[in-house]
């Protein structure tokens, strides 16, 4: 492996706050959030884009923090689980529906669900959407499952998570 | 709560979930888990999240050979890299004492699954074995510098092919109080030969990884001979004792903290290389070290569930009544640890039979030791037995439920012990009703491109309790606090213990605090074997009794509630259950052993279940989708309807992975894992998980404290068979090799 290039100052806007840190080009957004910004709510489950535990919102879109270099997020608005609350209806619904056990995947599930709901509101179809030409795709449980499949949960809290997302989507209370 | 019945219907036997008016106000209710809000907000601090002053970061270098001798390690380039603190190898590492051998008198000896003396030896015993640890100021630097370490090996011959080494297997010996691996009753072979109907299946299951979402991580800090370790261990006390022994310090100088654990499933039950080497590196560099394992490092250094080869033979009369059951298994262990597994135990528990023979053989390979994973043995063994029963039902033209009713038993078929509690017919009735089993129609119905089928299987997991210590304190300020070193890896132990305390002392739930996850608290058993909740409930109930009686002796102020009395008394009242040290601790352990052995001679206690499912098999691609699931369970008394249902659902979901997608692949020539990560090892995703209906009998076990039987493992048992039986119903193809991948479903896979 060649020796890594040196660090340089990088300015990120995270949860509405501008912060500047000296970051190496190889530093992922995930590590920058966790190790530099002290925002440890975003989790590292695999560090290779397989599990979704590090999902954050960059300019409103869900991305995997481990597959995004911190420098790629320069000038963007990053929202992590710490910036979602404190009392977002989806967070309350996940607790109520017991959509978690160990909780390690939960911040990623919540951020991913918020990004997914925005994608759905914007009319994005999924693999299981039957009528691709429809103006509004009904957000069934099958649609939620398909669209949330990038976020793994090993405790098996899937039913509760889907119920929570569905409840919030139907009440229209998601941002 | 939502138990998501597939057809809404009030089930009289479902435990009450709200509005209870009897004196037990909280136990049974689906109270939200206490750590839920912190976890959904990202505020819960897992081990890797905790800031630590002066922290350094460790990264492992893995051996690329199954057997080898390290000739030389060149660490110069790594050491010269800016930010590297040191590189620890067997050339410079502090010495560790060898691991203890297993003993019933010291259960912490079970924490050691591997005999490898990491970084204290030049011998490599498995592919992936850590041979160096780089310690650096940053994670990136440690990871990069690890790539600069050069190791020369003398490669040695290794045995790494499970199938090819089948002939080297040795028979597993049965020891008292251990799970069943062998036994005979009558002449099972002669009975089999004489039976009018015989079913014989050869089955295989692959190795499985626990794949907890939180990778293993340890933070270790030495202050002289005082050691503090943050580690998401499932066994705080075992981990602490193991580290004290390995590093030659008094156990009172070691503190292990695991307040938040990101899943375990058995994978965090033993002390693996990562934990040991973090502590070792911290001692060497004399600074705090954190080693957050990569997913690859977890997979290569933490043992997996053994693959199995099984043979199940059933002999029966034409009316389906069993005459003989033979269940044999071969499991994979290691030359440096691991062990046998109770794959055949399920066949000594489920069905009446006059003749029975079960046996287990162990193949030892030059590989990472195998370890327990959710329902060890029972998860894979139930695939064998329950697939064979399904085939028998087909061969004698009986409904699979009717066949199981005909072979029901109230005694263990091997030893003739009574079950403390067994209502399998009620479970099958409840499950069939909720599923609509009678209305399912013939198998193989076509729905577009898909063939629809239905399957069922029983679930079973033996129940044990361990010794547990607690301290219960009622404060003059009006609170009650329970302290125990219990581990919560997601089961909700603090939530249910608070419910138990609230009811036992008749105090409001929000006045009860539970402190756990720290070895400075009284010793709790490890979170494993579905034992923790039952064990701690027993200790908590005893503590509450003592506290009540202490409060009654306070004199005039004893009138009214416990909290009123203590408040009037003006001083905290504290009671202790169990002793962590000294002669009384030893006496407690001996009493536990005696009670366990005595109990096992009288009765068999277990959790039970019946799974019912529907699958849709794509006739062209062979893809299996599970479309409906109902599970009916008897886990004794239900402490929290919500968290209990989640535990059972979680077991079923892991079972869906076992049935359809999970397979750890090893290159048999080299002993190296192929794709040791979550992109190659497929755990179920949202799209794989249908709505799972959970229905509970809620009937207390008469022999268990407060009637509680563990719920963590029974859910996964039987799931593999239920799915395979449904695929048989849909396609007419009896599949005996897991997972049921499309090539196998289409009959295109070459099978041994």
Q: How confident is the model at residue B749 (pLDDT cuts 50, 70, 90)?
A: confident
Say if residues B578 and B468 touch (Cβ distance below 8 Å): yes
Average the pLDDT over B2-21 and give the result. Answer: 35
User: Hey, what are B26's tokens?
Assistant: 């909280």
With b for 16 or more beta-carbon neighbours within 10 A and e for fewer, the B711-725 pattern comes to bbbbbbbbbbbbbbb
Encode pLDDT of B196-255 as tens digits.
999 999 999 999 999 999 999 999 999 999 999 999 999 999 999 999 999 999 999 999
Say if residues B232 and B46 touch (Cβ distance below 8 Å): yes
| pLDDT, position B18 | 36
Q: Does B7 have pLDDT greater than 50?
A: no
A58–B contact, CB cutoff 8 A: no
- B439 Cβ contact list (under 8 Å, min separation 6): none
B727 vs B718: CA distance, rounded Å: 14
Average the pLDDT over B591-600 and give the result. Answer: 77
Say if residues B746 and B461 touch (Cβ distance below 8 Å): no
pTM to 2 decimal places: 0.95
CA B487 to chain centroid, in Å, comes to 13
| pLDDT, position B23 | 54
Q: Does B546 have pLDDT greater than 60?
A: yes
Q: Does B726 have pLDDT greater than 80?
A: yes
Q: What percent of chain B has pLDDT over 70?
A: 96
Single out the residue of B678, B300, B212, B208 nearest to residue A50, CA to CA.
B678
Q: Does the domain at residues A85-171 carry the CATH identifier 1.10.150.120?
A: yes
User: Hey, what are B259's tokens?
Assistant: 């307040």
B48 vs B576: CA distance, rounded Å: 33
- In chain A, list all ranges with CATH 3.10.20.30: 8-83
Task: Measure the N-to-C terminal CA separation of chain A; round to a whole number of Å.
Answer: 44
B384 vs B110: CA distance, rounded Å: 28
Residues of chain A with C-beta less than 8 angstroms from the C-beta of B686 = 144-146, 148-149, 151, 153, 158, 161-162
Say if residues B45 and B280 touch (Cβ distance below 8 Å): no
Angle value at C-alpha B542, between B538 and B546, nearest 5 degrees: 170
Helix axes A89-96, A106-121, angle to 10 degrees: 120
Q: What is the mean pLDDT of chain B?
A: 93
User: Hey, what are B693's tokens?
Assistant: 């209906």
Closest chain A CA to residue B39: A103
Strand order in the sheet with B512-515: B512-515, B480-483, B470-474, B573-577
Residues of chain A with C-beta less than 8 angstroms from the C-beta of B48 = 34, 40, 44
B615 vs B628: CA distance, rounded Å: 7
Contact assignment for A40 to B35 by CB distance below 8 Å = no
Q: What are phi and psi of B547, to 5 degrees?
A: -65, -45
Say if residues B586 and B575 touch (Cβ distance below 8 Å): no
Distances (CA, A) of A54 to A18, A26, A39: 20, 17, 11
Q: What are phi and psi of B510, to 5 degrees?
A: -75, 0
Please classify residue B410 by burial: count the beta carbons closer than 10 Å to its beta carbon, then call 0-12 exposed, 13-18 middle and 19+ buried: exposed
Average the pLDDT over A39-53 and give the result. Answer: 97
Contact assignment for B262 to A44 by CB distance below 8 Å = no
Contact assignment for B32 to A47 by CB distance below 8 Å = no
Encode pLDDT of A104-120 as tens digits.
999 999 999 999 999 99
Pairing of strands B308-316, B68-74: unpaired
A40–B contact, CB cutoff 8 A: yes
Residues of chain B with C-beta less than 8 angstroms from the C-beta of A3 = 81
Say if residues B305 and B269 touch (Cβ distance below 8 Å): no
Check residue A70 and give left, alpha or beta (phi > 0: left; psi -120 to 50: alpha): alpha
Say if residues B260 and B46 touch (Cβ distance below 8 Å): yes
Q: Please name each of the domains of chain B with its CATH number.
A: 47-157+213-263+268-301 (3.90.1170.50), 166-209+304-463+605-745 (3.30.365.10), 465-602 (3.30.365.10)
| pLDDT, position B24 | 60
A45–B contact, CB cutoff 8 A: yes
- In chain A, list all ranges with CATH 1.10.150.120: 85-171
> Which of A155, A157, A165, A167 has the highest number of chain B CBs within 10 A, making it the mutation to test binding with B?
A155
Single out the residue of B523, B522, B470, B520 nearest to residue B498, CA to CA.
B470
A64–B contact, CB cutoff 8 A: no
Single out the residue of B301, B284, B289 nearest to residue B89, CA to CA.
B284
Average the pLDDT over B534-555 and give the result. Answer: 92
Q: How confident is the model at residue B660 (pLDDT cuts 50, 70, 90)?
A: very high
B388 vs B720: CA distance, rounded Å: 12
* B154, B361, B713, B751: the active-site residue: B713
Place of tokens 């529906």: A97
Closest chain A CA to residue B49: A40
Single out the residue of B750, B718, B562 nearest to residue B648, CA to CA.
B718
Q: Does B383 have pLDDT greater than 80?
A: yes
Nearest-neighbour CA in chain B from A133: distance (Å): 22
B453 vs B446: CA distance, rounded Å: 9
| pLDDT, position A30 | 98
Contact assignment for A102 to B692 by CB distance below 8 Å = no
Single out the residue of B324, B380, B310, B102 nearest to residue B198, CA to CA.
B324
CA B454 to chain centroid, in Å, comes to 28
Average the pLDDT over B410-414 and give the result. Answer: 94
B154 vs B150: CA distance, rounded Å: 14
B215 vs A102: CA distance, rounded Å: 12
CA B559 to chain centroid, in Å, comes to 45
- A149 Cβ contact list (under 8 Å, min separation 6): B685, B686, B687
Q: What percent of chain B has pLDDT over 90?
A: 84
Angle value at C-alpha B717, between B372 and B299, nearest 5 degrees: 35
Task: Measure the N-to-C terminal CA separation of chain B; round to a whole number of Å.
Answer: 47
Nearest-neighbour CA in chain A from B334: distance (Å): 27
Contact assignment for A160 to B491 by CB distance below 8 Å = no
| pLDDT, position B277 | 98
DSSP E strands: which ranges in B497-637?
512-515, 573-577, 603-604, 606-618, 624-634
Q: Clarify whether B23 is annotated catalytic.
A: no
A165 vs A94: CA distance, rounded Å: 8
Contact assignment for A44 to B292 by CB distance below 8 Å = yes
Q: How confident is the model at residue B110 (pLDDT cuts 50, 70, 90)?
A: confident
Q: What are phi and psi of B385, to 5 degrees?
A: -65, -45
Q: Does B9 have pLDDT greater than 60?
A: no
**Cα atoms in the Cβ-side hemisphere of radius 13 Å centred on B420:** 26
> Which of A37, A101, A126, A151 has the highest number of chain B CBs within 10 A, making it the mutation to test binding with B?
A101
Encode pLDDT of B48-86 as tens digits.
999 999 999 999 999 999 999 999 999 999 999 999 999
DSSP B273-293: HHHHHHHHHHHHHTS-EEEE-
Assigned CATH topology for domain A8-83: Ubiquitin-like (UB roll) (3.10.20)
Pairing of strands A55-58, A61-64: antiparallel
- B672 Cβ contact list (under 8 Å, min separation 6): B64, B66, B127, B128, B666
- B471 Cβ contact list (under 8 Å, min separation 6): B482, B483, B484, B521, B522, B543, B574, B575, B576, B577
| pLDDT, position B4 | 32
Please classify residue B319 by burial: count the beta carbons closer than 10 Å to its beta carbon, then call 0-12 exposed, 13-18 middle and 19+ buried: exposed
């Amino acid at each position: 492996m060649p020796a890594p290039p040196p660090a340089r100052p990088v300015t990120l806007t995270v949860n509405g706050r501008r912060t500047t840190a000296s970051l190496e080009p190889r530093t992922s957004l995930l590590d920058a959030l966790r190790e530099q910004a002290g925002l440890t709510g975003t989790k590292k489950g695999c560090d290779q884009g397989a599990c979704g535990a590090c999902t954050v919102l960059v300019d409103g879109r869900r991305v995997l923090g481990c597959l995004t270099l911190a420098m790629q997020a320069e000038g963007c608005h990053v929202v992590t689980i710490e910036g979602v609350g404190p009392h977002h209806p989806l967070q309350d619904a996940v607790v109520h529906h017991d959509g978690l056990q160990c909780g390690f995947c939960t911040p990623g599930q919540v951020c991913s669900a918020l990004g997914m709901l925005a994608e759905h509101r914007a009319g994005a179809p999924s693999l299981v959407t039957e009528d691709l030409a429809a103006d509004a795709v009904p957000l069934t449980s099958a649609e939620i499952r398909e669209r949330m499949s990038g976020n793994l949960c090993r405790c098996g809290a899937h039913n509760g998570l889907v119920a929570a997302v569905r409840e919030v989507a139907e009440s229209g209370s998601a941002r | 709560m939502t138990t998501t019945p597939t057809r809404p219907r009030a089930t009289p036997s479902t435990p009450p979930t709200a509005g209870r008016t009897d004196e037990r106000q909280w136990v049974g209710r689906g109270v939200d888990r206490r750590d839920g809000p912190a976890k959904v907000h990202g505020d819960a601090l897992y081990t890797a999240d905790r800031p630590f002053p002066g922290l350094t970061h460790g990264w492992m270098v893995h051996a690329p050979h199954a057997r080898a001798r390290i000739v030389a390690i060149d660490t110069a380039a790594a050491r010269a890299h800016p930010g590297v603190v040191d590189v620890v190898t067997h050339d410079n590492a502090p010495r560790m004492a060898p691991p203890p051998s297993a003993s019933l008198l010291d259960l912490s000896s079970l924490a050691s699954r591997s005999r490898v003396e990491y970084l204290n030896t030049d011998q490599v015993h498995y592919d992936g074995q850590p041979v160096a640890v780089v310690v650096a100021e940053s994670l990136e630097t440690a990871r990069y510098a690890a790539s600069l370490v050069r190791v020369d090996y003398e490669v040695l011959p290794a045995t790494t092919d499970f199938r090819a080494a089948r002939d080297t297997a040795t028979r597993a010996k049965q020891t008292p109080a251990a799970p069943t691996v062998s036994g005979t009753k009558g002449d099972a072979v002669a009975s089999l030969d004489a039976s009018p109907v015989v079913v014989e299946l050869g089955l295989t299951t692959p190795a499985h990884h626990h794949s907890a979402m939180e990778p293993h991580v340890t933070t270790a800090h030495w202050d002289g001979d005082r050691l503090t370790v943050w580690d998401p261990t499932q066994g705080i006390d075992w981990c602490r004792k193991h580290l004290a022994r390995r590093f030659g310090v008094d156990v009172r100088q070691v503190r292990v903290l695991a307040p938040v654990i990101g899943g375990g499933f058995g994978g965090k039950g033993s002390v693996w290389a990562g934990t040991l080497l973090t502590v070792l590196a911290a001692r060497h560099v004399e600074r705090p070290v954190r080693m957050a394992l990569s997913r690859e490092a977890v997979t290569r250094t933490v043992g997996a569930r053994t693959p199995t080869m099984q043979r199940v033979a059933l002999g029966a009369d034409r009316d389906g009544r069993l005459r003989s059951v033979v269940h044999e298994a071969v499991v994979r262990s290691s030359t440096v640890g691991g062990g046998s597994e109770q794959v055949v135990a399920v066949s000594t528990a489920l069905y009446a039979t006059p003749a029975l023979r079960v046996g287990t053989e162990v193949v030892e390979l030059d590989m990472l030791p195998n370890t327990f994973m959710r329902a060890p043995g029972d998860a894979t063994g139930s695939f064998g037995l329950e697939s064979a029963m399904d085939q028998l039902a087909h061969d004698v033209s009986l409904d699979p439920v009717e066949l199981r009713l005909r072979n029901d038993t109230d005694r263990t078929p091997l030893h003739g012990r009574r079950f403390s509690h067994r209502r399998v017919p009620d479970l099958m009735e409840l499950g069939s009703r909720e599923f609509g089993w009678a209305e399912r129609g013939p198998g193989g119905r076509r729905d577009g491109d898909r063939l629809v089928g239905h399957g069922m299987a029983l679930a079973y997991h033996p129940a044990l309790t361990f010794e547990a210590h607690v301290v219960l304190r009622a404060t003059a300020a009006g609170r009650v606090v329970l302290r125990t070193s219990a581990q919560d890896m997601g089961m909700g132990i603090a939530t249910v213990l608070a419910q138990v305390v609230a009811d036992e002392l008749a105090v409001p739930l929000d006045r009860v605090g539970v402190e756990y996850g720290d070895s400075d608290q009284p010793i709790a058993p490890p979170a494993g074997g579905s034992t923790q909740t039952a064990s701690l409930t027993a200790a908590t109930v005893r503590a509450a009794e003592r506290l009540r009686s202490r409060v009654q002796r306070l004199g005039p102020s004893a009138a009214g509630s416990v909290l009123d009395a203590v408040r009037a008394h003006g001083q905290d009242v504290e009671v202790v259950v169990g002793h962590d040290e000294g002669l009384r601790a030893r006496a407690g352990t001996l009493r536990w052993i005696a009670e366990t052995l005595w109990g096992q001679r009288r009765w068999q206690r277990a959790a039970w279940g019946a799974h019912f499912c529907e699958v849709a098999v794509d006739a062209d691609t062979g893809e299996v989708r599970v479309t409906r699931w109902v599970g009916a369970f008897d886990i004794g008394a239900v402490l929290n309807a919500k968290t209990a249902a989640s535990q059972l659902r979680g077991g079923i979901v892991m079972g869906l992975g076992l049935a359809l997608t999970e397979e750890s692949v090893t290159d048999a020539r080299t002993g190296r894992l192929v794709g040791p990560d979550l992109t190659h090892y497929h755990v179920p995703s949202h799209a794989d998980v249908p709505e799972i209906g959970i229905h509970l009998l809620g009937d207390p076990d008469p022999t268990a404290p407060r009637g509680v039987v563990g719920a963590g493992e029974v859910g996964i048992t039987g799931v593999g068979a239920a799915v395979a039986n449904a695929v048989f119903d849909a396609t007419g193809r009896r599949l005996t090799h897991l997972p049921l991948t499309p090539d196998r479903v289409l009959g295109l896979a070459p099978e041994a």
